[in-house]
Amino acid sequence: MFKRLPESEAQLNAHPVALKVNGMEVFCREGDSVAAALFAAGLLDCRDTPVKGVPRGPFCMMGVCFDCLVEINGMPNQQGCMVLAKPGMNIERQLGAREVQT
Amino acid sequence: MSQVSNCEVAIIGAGPAGMAAALALTEYGLDVVVFDENPAAGGQIYRGITSSPLRDRPQILGKDYWAGEPLVKKFQACDAQKIHEAIVWAVSQQTSDFAPSHFEIGYSVNAEARLLHARHVLVATGAHERPFPIRGWTLPGVITGGAAQTLLKSNAIVPSDRIVLAGCGPLLYLIAWQYLNSGVKIDMLLDTTPKGRVLSLWPYLLDFVRSPYFLKGLNLVREVNSKVNVVKHVSELAANGVDALESITFKTGNQERTVEADHLLLHQGVMPNINLAQALGITLNWNDVIKCWEPVADIWGNTNVERVHIAGDAAGIAGAWAAESRGRLAATDIAFQLGKLTEQQRDTVAVKLRHDYVAVTRGREFFDRLFQPPVQFRRPTGDTVVCRCEEITASQVRETVKIGCTGPNQMKSFLRCGMGPCQGRFCAVTVTELIADERNVPEQDVGHYRLRFPTKPLTLGELAALPQTEDSIKAVVRLKKPV
C-alpha cells in the first residue's frame, strides 16, 4: 500500500478531486497523475497484460515503461502516469490489448 | 485542422539541459519553442519543484533538489514558448517546398496531433532508469527507485508496510535518505555492489575525493547505513508472488534468505533516453563502463545529423549540473551556427562553461565504475522477463540466438521482442547484452534496435487529423482518370 504524507493529505482534504475508478468513487489531490491517484487509493495494479493476462501496475512513473496503461473516459491505452487526474474522470482497468475501433 | 507553426530552435525536453539552453538562446534573441512531456518544467531531477506538497519541509528532499528552483523560475520567465504535456513523436527533415531547410516536428497535446517547423533542433530528452531484469520484476508492488522518488517529490506519496530497496548507485541511497527524512521506515536495503570493487578502483579515487560528490555522498551513505538494515554484496535477487509481490529472495555469500515484503524498489543506475535521437539518425556508441548506448556528440553537442544538437544526460550520463553546462554550450554553438555569435564570441563564452563542465564531472569515472550493475543483473537467464511489453523471457531470447538470430532487429521478427508500446526502452540494452553473451562478441558488434518514428505510440485518428499538403494527398488518393 501507499500512503500520503500529511502535506499531501491536507491538500487532498482542502481541494478533493473526485474520480471514478472501476465504478468506485475515489478522491485524489489536485496535481496528482492518474497513476499516483490509483496508488494512493490502494491499487497496485491497473491492467491485465495482453500476452499472459496477468495483473500489472505502474512501474516507472515517468512515461517510459507503458505499464500504467488504463482506460480514461472510454479511451483505452492511456498512460496513467502522464495524465493529470481531473474532476469526474472515469478510469477503468485496461484489459489486454486495445481493440481496433472501426 | 491545426495550423503549422514555426520557430528558429526547437528544444525537446525541459530538464536542466533544455532549460539552460532555452535561457541562453532567448538571450541571443532567437525564437525558441520548448516541448516537455510533463505538466511543469524541471525534468525528472527537479520534478514537481513548482508544485511539490513538501515545500514547507525542504529538508526531506534536500538542498540539491531545491537548488534547481532558480533555474526553473528563470526558465518560466524567459521568452521561449513552452509547450507542456507535449509528446514529441517525430522529428524529420522537411522534404516539401514549404520550408525546405527546416525540420518538421510532430507532437501531440491532449491526444491532438500538431506540427511545428524549426531551423535547428536540440535534443534534451534526459535519462531514464536502466532495466533491472530479475525474476518477478513485473509483479505489482515492484516499482523503480525513480518512480518512488517521483511519487515523493510531486505527490508526497510514499509506500507503507514492508519496504525493501535493492540495487546500486547514488540514487538508491538518496531515496533511502529522503524516506528517512520523511519518517518512512525502510525494512531493508539490498546493495548489489560486488565485494572488493572499491579497492580495484584506486586509480580513479583521487579525482573522486576532489569532486563535489565525495563529501555529500559519504555523509548520505553513512547516515543510511546507521539507520537502515543494509545488506551488502547481494549477488542474487528475485521477487516472488502470484498476482502481487509477496516476498523477496536474495543471496549474499553462500547464504540465501527470503523476506516478506509489500514493496520492492529497484534501481541500478540510469541511461540516456535515446529513442528520439536514434530515430533521428544520430550515431550511437556502446559505453562499456555504464553498459548502455550513448549518442556520439562533440563538446558542443554537435551530432552526425546537421543542425541537430544533443545535450544533458541524453548525450551521456553526467548529472544535472553537467547538463546545465552542456545545455549552455549547445546553445552557444547553435547561436553561432544561426549567425547570432561570431566564432570568437562563441569561444569566449565557452571558456567558463567548459571549465564548469570539467569541475562538475570530476570523479564520475570512479562512481560510474563503482556502480556498474553486476553482470548477473544485466544478463538474465531462464524465465526472467526481458521484454515487459511482449512478455518475452531471457531463455527465449537466448534460444533464438542459438538457432541463428544474430541481432536485435532480427530478434523482433522471431519474438516481437521490443515491439510493444515502450518501443524497447526497457529491454534494448538487455537484448543487446544477451545476444552478445550468446555469440561471445562485443555489444557494439551486436548493435541496437532500429527505431523509427513515431517514437511514442499515436493513434491513426491523431495522424489523420494533421494538415495535408497537396503532394501528400496525391500520394495516397487514387485520382479518377478524366473521361
| DSSP state at residue A97 | S
| Percentage of residues in chain A having pLDDT higher than 90 | 94
* pLDDT at residue number B96: 57
Is 0.95 exceeded by the ipTM?
yes
Name the phi and psi angles at B53, rounded to 5: -65, -15
Residues in chain B: 483
How far from chain centre, in Å, is Cα B50?
A: 21
Domain ranges of chain A: 6-88
Per residue in A8-23, pLDDT tens?
999 999 999 999 999 9
Facing residue for B147 by CB, picked from A7, A8, A58: A58
For residue B255, what are the β-bridge partners? Answer: B252
Spell out where A1-102 has E strands: 2-4, 17-21, 24-28, 47-48, 55-56, 69-72, 75-79, 90-95
Round the average pLDDT of chain B to a whole number and report it.
94
Which residues of chain A does B128 touch, with a Cβ-Cβ cutoff of 8 Å? 60, 62, 64
Per residue in B78-106, pLDDT tens?
999 999 999 999 999 876 555 567 899 99
Find, among B437, B435, B433, the residue nearest to B414 by Cα: B435
DSSP strand pairing (B32-35 vs B5-12) = parallel
Q: How far is B140 from chain A (nearest CA, A)?
A: 5
**Mean per-residue pLDDT for A60-76?**
97
pTM of the predicted structure, to 2 decimals:
0.95
The answer to whether A82 contacts B146, with C-beta atoms less than 8 Å apart, is: no
B54 in contact with A at a CB cutoff of 8 Å? Answer: yes
* pLDDT at residue number B480: 63
Distant-in-sequence, close-in-space partners of A86: CB < 8 Å, separation ≥ 6: A17
Q: How far is B186 from chain A (nearest CA, A)?
A: 13
Facing residue for A39 by CB, picked from B44, B87, B157: B157
DSSP strand pairing (B5-12 vs A90-95) = unpaired
Q: Grid coordinates representing B89?
A: 513523436
Answer yes or no: is pLDDT of A101 > 80. Answer: no
Facing residue for A59 by CB, picked from B144, B157, B420: B144
Find, among B35, B88, B124, the residue nearest to B334 by Cα: B124
Dihedral sign (CA B178, B179, B183, B187): negative
Q: How far apart are CA B87 and CA B220, in angstroms?
A: 36
Q: How far apart are CA B135 and CA B146, in angstroms?
A: 20
Q: How far is A22 from chain B (nearest CA, A)?
A: 18
- Residue B331, SS3? helix
B244 in contact with A at a CB cutoff of 8 Å? Answer: yes
Q: Longest Cα pair distance anywhere in chain A, in angstroms?
A: 47
Which residues of chain B does A44 touch, with a Cβ-Cβ cutoff of 8 Å? 140-141, 244
- Residue B50's H or E segment, with its range, is none
Question: In chain B, which residues have pLDDT < 50?
Answer: 1
Q: Grid coordinates representing B479?
A: 485520382
* pLDDT at residue number B111: 85
Dihedral sign (CA B331, B332, B335, B337): negative
In order, the DSSP letters of B301-323 are -B-SSTTEEE-GGGGS---HHHH
* pLDDT at residue number B1: 40
In the block, which residue shows the cell 487526474?
A85
The answer to whether B154 contacts A31, with C-beta atoms less than 8 Å apart, is: yes
Range A6-88 classified under CATH 3.40.50: no
Facing residue for A51 by CB, picked from B129, B183, B391: B391
Q: How far apart are CA B447 and CA B431, in angstroms?
A: 10
Q: How far is B426 from chain A (nearest CA, A)?
A: 7
- Residue A26, SS3? strand
The answer to whether B151 contacts A36, with C-beta atoms less than 8 Å apart, is: yes
Per residue in B200-225, pLDDT tens?
888 888 888 888 778 888 889 999 99
